[in-house]
Amino acid sequence: MQVIKTFILVVSLWGFNGHSWVYTGNQTVLSMKFNQEQCQMIEQSWTKFEKNPYFRFSIECVEEIKKET
């Protein structure tokens, strides 16, 4: 059985509580799967405008492991 590594793009919202950044529980996942290089290219192509010092978005590639049948 061959293991194929694919990646998904996840955008999540984080809040600063005065001491540390905490995940708010909200995220958006792009419904497409990529290889690592493709995902990182998309991840790095965003431009951020963050004016609120208490909230931020995180954009990252997350590995998804799928077993080929």
Question: How much is the pLDDT for 67?
Answer: 62
Distance, in Å, from the CA atom of 47 to the CA atom of 66, rounded to the nearest integer, reads: 31
Between CA 69 and CA 58 the distance in angstroms is: 33
The answer to whether 10 and 57 have CB atoms below 8 angstroms apart is no
Query: Digits of tens for pLDDT over the chain (69 positions)?
Result: 777 789 999 999 999 999 999 999 999 999 999 999 999 999 999 998 999 999 999 999 999 866 665
State pTM to two decimals. 0.80
Burial class of residue 43 in the structure, from the number of CB atoms within 10 Å of its CB (0-12 exposed, 13-18 middle, 19+ buried)? middle
Beta bridge partners, 56, equal 14
Per DSSP, helices labelled H in 1-69 are 36-43
